[in-house]
Amino acid sequence: MSAAADSAVTAPTRREWLALAVLSVGLGMIVLDGTIVGVALPDIIKDLHLDLTDAQWVNSLYAVLLAALLLSTGKLADRWGRRLLFLVGLVVFVGGSILAGMSDAAGPLIGARAVQAVGAALIMPSTLSTVNAVFRGRYRAAAFGVWGAVISGAAAVGPLAGGALTQWGSWHWIFWVNVPLGALVFIAGILVVPETRGAKGRPGADVDGALLSAIGFGALVFAVIEGPDLGWWKPQGPFKMLGWTWPADAAISVVPVAMAIAVTALTLFVFWERHREKVRRSALLDLNLFTLPTFSWGNVTAAMVAVGEFAIIFVLPLYLVNALGLDVMGAGLVLAAMAIGAFFSGAVARHVAARFGSPGTVLIGLGLEVIGVVALAFLMGATTPGWLVALPLVVYGLGLGLASAQLTGTVLRDVPVEVSGQGSATQSTVRQIGSALGTAFAGATLSVALALTLPAALNAAGLTGDAADKLAAATRQSAGTTITQLRAGGDAGSFGDQAAGAADALAAGFADATRWSLLVASVFLLLGLLGAARLRRAAKAGHADIAA
């Protein structure tokens, strides 16, 4: 947009700025819910007797369903009205939060998380597409900056909020808190958020596309999460679901079958969307958006950032509480270092962008994220003080704030307003796929690494035999909660005067396994860094074309 055109854009009204605030709080609530669970997870595992796979599903199912539904709900928001979908989503989300707060077992909690995800899927694309439709010119860049800062800030502050609510109340309160907050946002949404719709689209509803995308993404995350326990190729035990059993003596595990289903469904989804475009029918995903280089490379970068971010948020609370022995509030305070960095850099991101451009700011942010995670991985040990863990997290948070605050506007920069719902839903979907895979990859890496590091650590401490093997297996299955129980039991436990030595050895093994998870996260962040470099090149080429 030229400077003259930009200056001719009408400034947003006070009500429109208030609408941005309301939409941002609504968005922050669902992003917060994606990360607030992490620091409370050790307490949830202990209280509801979850195993590591259950714990991953508590985190991942939310992101999986969100990813599966966002394309569909983005389309519905364009057609039926974005404010309407936003308000309906709030009601569903608060209902799911009530169910989660009442949960007393793994099944009901995971089911409640699914209901929350449906509500979140209605809220998220409605917020961004409304911002894209209401704000213009330089005001749109400022609004996108707020939107991106809310994502990074809410994701970073989640662990602190989770720690405070769990320490001073119980883990149930991480869900109950959504009830009054959701009610306030609902009332404010009715009063100040304008109703907007997309341009009248083509006929038909792309039900097949919705089913194929849901099956594909769901099967992919299922395969990554369940692989360590069910077997990547040969079955390690029977798999039971809805009264149906995949036998332990089958020729192959259910995991490669799920992976094949994912590849097939997602391939068919692409072909189906191309067919819908060819026959001029309504399509769930406008593949033409990916002809925009900034959109394509921006989404690659966003996915990698989300994988790294949620991998860290999943494994670090388990390490801090179980290996280092911190309470949940202490763990939340350590993880709040990310929030400190993210809020500071989110506030200055606009000034950094004025100097280096938005794509350049994303590149700087990702560089800081990689440095922070790699430094943390090498500092990590069974006796590392919490303040030392927090230092690289501040660096990581600085990078997260810079990257998130500027990435959203860059990705959607060239997307036409009439398809902003699809564009924003696609970007949100990519982020959620990344967050689901981040939890899945981190959990899978942690599970595989624990199977190696725990027996080795016990052996180094002189603890061998069947009892040591069972202890290592129990620690792995409980995601480290067994370490806390050993410490609490003291010499009165089954290991007698060897309990302290066993707990220290297990803590060392858990720290080593966590390091491997963080290094896997850093690989994805490095891929995001490469994507950001391509994004910057694409943005420069686009500016050169406009100037020509």
1 or 301, which is more confident:
301
> Which of 130, 129, 101, 100 minimizes the C-alpha distance to 115?
100
375 or 157, which is more confident:
375
Q: Which residue has the tokens 């991985």?
A: 377
Query: From CA 45, how far away is CA 371, in angstroms rounded?
Result: 31
Q: Which residue has the tokens 């280096």?
A: 356
Q: Which residue has the tokens 């072909």?
A: 271
- Is the pLDDT at 530 greater than 60? The verdict is yes
pLDDT at position 524 is 92
Taking residues 344-360, what's their average pLDDT?
A: 81
Max avg pLDDT among 5-14, 380-389, 425-434, 471-480: 380-389
pLDDT at position 420 is 67
Helix/strand number for the chain, H first, E second: 18, 2
Local confidence band at 199 (pLDDT 50, 70, 90 cut-offs): low
| 1 burial level (CB within 10 Å; 0-12, 13-18, 19+) | middle
In the chain, where the domains are located: 12-201+282-451+511-547, 202-281, 452-510
Taking residues 282-301, what's their average pLDDT?
A: 83
| 211 burial level (CB within 10 Å; 0-12, 13-18, 19+) | middle
pLDDT at position 93 is 95
Q: Are 453 and 321 in contact (CB under 8 A)?
A: no
- Is the pLDDT at 392 greater than 90? The verdict is yes
pTM comes to: 0.75
Tokens found for residue 374 = 């790699």
Local confidence band at 2 (pLDDT 50, 70, 90 cut-offs): very low
> Which of 37, 15, 22, 27 minimizes the C-alpha distance to 149?
27
Query: From CA 491, how far away is CA 515, in angstroms rounded?
Result: 30
pLDDT at position 188 is 92
- Is the pLDDT at 285 greater than 50? The verdict is yes
pLDDT at position 493 is 55
> Which of 408, 413, 382 minimizes the C-alpha distance to 501?
382
Taking residues 409-431, what's their average pLDDT?
A: 74
Q: Are 156 and 313 in contact (CB under 8 A)?
A: no
Q: Are 143 and 315 in contact (CB under 8 A)?
A: no
Alpha helices in 193-253 (DSSP H): 207-230
- Is the pLDDT at 375 greater than 80? The verdict is yes
pLDDT at position 463 is 80
Which distant-in-sequence residues (6+ apart) come within 8 Å of 190 by Cβ?
A: 87
- Is the pLDDT at 328 greater than 80? The verdict is no
Local confidence band at 548 (pLDDT 50, 70, 90 cut-offs): very low
User: Mean pLDDT, the chain, as a whole number?
Assistant: 82
- Is the pLDDT at 1 greater than 50? The verdict is no
Taking residues 299-320, what's their average pLDDT?
A: 85
Which distant-in-sequence residues (6+ apart) come within 8 Å of 421 by Cβ?
A: 74, 75, 77, 78, 82, 125, 129, 198
Query: From CA 215, how far away is CA 228, in angstroms rounded?
Result: 21
Strand spans (E) along 219-309: 239-241, 244-246
332 or 544, which is more confident:
332
Where is average pLDDT lowest: 160-164, 304-308, 395-399? Answer: 160-164
Region of 388 on the Ramachandran plot (φ > 0 left; ψ -120 to 50 alpha; else beta): alpha
Query: From CA 255, how far away is CA 337, in angstroms rounded?
Result: 37
Max avg pLDDT among 56-70, 194-208, 444-458: 444-458
Taking residues 340-369, what's their average pLDDT?
A: 84
Residue 415 main-chain phi, psi, to 5 deg: -80, 125
Which distant-in-sequence residues (6+ apart) come within 8 Å of 517 by Cβ?
A: 311, 315, 442, 445, 446, 449
Residue-wise pLDDT for 212-251, tens only, equals 888 887 788 778 777 777 888 888 877 776 567 788 888 8
Longest dimension (CA), the chain: 79
Where is average pLDDT lowest: 70-79, 189-198, 250-259, 326-335? Answer: 70-79
Tokens found for residue 272 = 């189906």
Taking residues 110-128, what's their average pLDDT?
A: 86
- Is the pLDDT at 261 greater than 90? The verdict is yes
> Which of 254, 278, 18, 11 minimizes the C-alpha distance to 139?
11
Q: Are 34 and 62 in contact (CB under 8 A)?
A: yes
Query: From CA 462, how far away is CA 249, in angstroms rounded?
Result: 36
pLDDT at position 5 is 46
Q: Which residue has the tokens 């230092």?
A: 391
pLDDT at position 377 is 93
- Is the pLDDT at 91 greater than 90? The verdict is yes
Residue-wise pLDDT for 7-40, tens only, equals 456 777 888 888 888 888 888 888 777 667 777 8
Q: What percent of the chain has pLDDT over 90?
A: 20
- Is the pLDDT at 450 greater than 70? The verdict is yes
In sequence order, what DSSP letters do the residues of 377-421 get, joined into one string? HHH--TT--HHHHHHHHHHHHHHHHHHHHHHHHHHTTTS-GGGHH
Which distant-in-sequence residues (6+ apart) come within 8 Å of 539 by Cβ?
A: 294, 357, 358, 359, 410, 413
pLDDT at position 379 is 92
Taking residues 138-166, what's their average pLDDT?
A: 71
Residue-wise pLDDT for 495-512, tens only, equals 666 778 888 899 999 999
- Is the pLDDT at 380 greater than 80? The verdict is yes
Top CATH class, 12-201+282-451+511-547: mainly alpha
Residue-wise pLDDT for 452-468, tens only, equals 999 998 888 888 888 88
Query: From CA 72, how far away is CA 358, in angstroms rounded?
Result: 29
Residue-wise pLDDT for 50-88, tens only, equals 877 777 778 777 777 776 777 777 777 777 888 899 999
pLDDT at position 156 is 62
